[in-house]
Amino acid sequence: MELLILFGVLFLMLAIGVPVAFSLLAASLACFLAMGIPPIVAVQRVGAGISVFTLMAIPFFIFAGDLMYRAGIAERLVRVADAAVGRVRGGLGIVDVGASMMFGAVSGSAIASASAIGSTMVPLMKDKGYPGDYAVNVTVTAAIVGLLIPPSHNMIIYSAASGIGVSIGDLFLAGVFPGLLTGLMLMAMAWIVAKRRSLPFGRFPGWREFVRAAAYAFPGLMTAVIIMGGILSGFFTATESSAIAAIYTVLIGVFVYRSLGWKGFWEAAGKSVRTASMVLFIIAAATAFGFALALLEVPAALGALIGFITENPLLTLLIINLMLLALGTFMDMAPLIVITTPIFLPVAMGVGVDPVHFGIIMMLNLGIGLVTPPVGSVLFVGSAVGGIPVTALVRTIWPFYATLLAALALVTYVPALSLWLPGVMAQ
């Protein structure tokens, strides 16, 4: 009965348009009352949900990502990618993916990537004769790569939600090859679709222009090097690296690129505070909801159900992937990480899946949900940037969905893609 109340209230709140965080809190509170648990427990779990030191990295990484956008780093990355691969048919689509990969390496946010790269690439592609739906579809699916290529604040959420102290440094390293693979697969699909739709060729500006563009973008790309180098060397923690990334971005934006002023700084600070507050509030509410699930022994029951269906690791991962893909269509990524990690991680570890590998599976799986209606936040950002209705995007985005699913299958069933680099660096 209590389980029915928990999910009934949640779905009812979501159906009438209540924000996710408040829906999770209302469902948790209703469940606690039905179980005879004092309401103060909900407040305590909300506080406990964000009383985690590693979560302090999230506001700083969000701030650094917004500063990078306002400092013009996204535009410089676009120039590098355009000079490198823009000359082939549909080259601007490939440029879009390449720029998103580089921006993901310094921001770690799919929404930031879709907004920053999209605001530059989508108008440019339209001016060059590319269909608007193609431009937006490439942009939003390429933005998912930023969830895999370090740093990624969603990996920090997963580490905190795991409850077993999964190394953030290992997660960052584990995302490198899956991120590169996914990006290359999206580039190939962008070229295939461009060829089928007879999209225009670009031109090669020459090696001098490429070197010049790379030199201009180099200080921005150094952000990722500083973050990963500091973490792997033990010079600073992931949380400290996020603050250093924000400080470094301010310095290069003010003194190197000279494109970041007080107005841009305060606008970035205000937007980042609002975004970080929403993310942390959702995490806190999801923690209370997860506690209610634990009291009702849902993780154990679900694990037993999957174990009853199959003990084959391949089938177990397939079932988990299908469940996560379904959940990702109607709930955002951060609450799903907090809620589902304690449920599915023990099941995956029970069939021999490494927790670092499982974290990368979750990042890509739930990232696909960000571009899937009806609650695909990155898809809606792309729609707003490009001025293309979501319904029009969904009709032509299927080749890119198929590419992301193929990448998910490879990441799921080839663990070495995720685990080889952390293993080498640990030696």
Q: What would the mean pLDDT of 302-314 be, rounded to a whole number?
A: 83
Q: What would the mean pLDDT of 40-66 be, rounded to a whole number?
A: 79
pLDDT reported for residue 355: 96
pLDDT reported for residue 58: 78
Q: Is the pLDDT of residue 357 over 90?
A: yes
283, 55 Cβ separation under 8 angstroms = yes
The percent of residues above 90 in pLDDT, for the chain, comes to 22
Q: Is the pLDDT of residue 7 over 90?
A: no
pLDDT reported for residue 409: 97
Q: Is the pLDDT of residue 313 over 80?
A: yes
Q: For residue 315, what pLDDT band results from cuts at 50, 70 and 90?
A: very high
139 or 112: whose pLDDT is higher? 139
* Distance from C-alpha of 61 to C-alpha of 108, rounded to nearest angstrom: 8
Q: Is the pLDDT of residue 204 over 70?
A: no
Instruction: Establish whether the linkage from the previous residue to 19 is cis, with ω within 30° of 0.
Output: no
Q: For residue 94, what pLDDT band results from cuts at 50, 70 and 90?
A: confident
* Distance from C-alpha of 287 to C-alpha of 282, rounded to nearest angstrom: 9
229 or 265: whose pLDDT is higher? 265
135-160 pLDDT tens trace: 899 999 999 998 898 878 889 889 98
Using left for φ > 0, alpha for ψ between -120 and 50, and beta otherwise, residue 302 falls in alpha
pLDDT reported for residue 180: 93
Q: For residue 350, what pLDDT band results from cuts at 50, 70 and 90?
A: confident
pLDDT reported for residue 84: 66
Q: Where is mean pLDDT largest: 63-72, 80-89, 379-388?
A: 379-388
Mean pLDDT of all residues belonging to the chain: 84
Q: Is the pLDDT of residue 89 over 80?
A: no
262-279 pLDDT tens trace: 888 888 888 888 878 887
Lowest mean pLDDT across 189-198, 275-284, 313-322, 406-415: 275-284
- Phi and psi at residue 105, in whole multiples of 5°? -70, -15
193 or 84: whose pLDDT is higher? 193
pLDDT reported for residue 103: 77
pLDDT reported for residue 203: 64
Q: How many CA atoms lie within 13 A of 221 on its CB side?
A: 17
Q: For residue 129, what pLDDT band results from cuts at 50, 70 and 90?
A: confident
Lowest mean pLDDT across 154-158, 302-306, 350-354: 302-306
* Cβ atoms within 10 Å of 127's Cβ, excluding its own: 9
Q: Is the pLDDT of residue 317 over 90?
A: yes
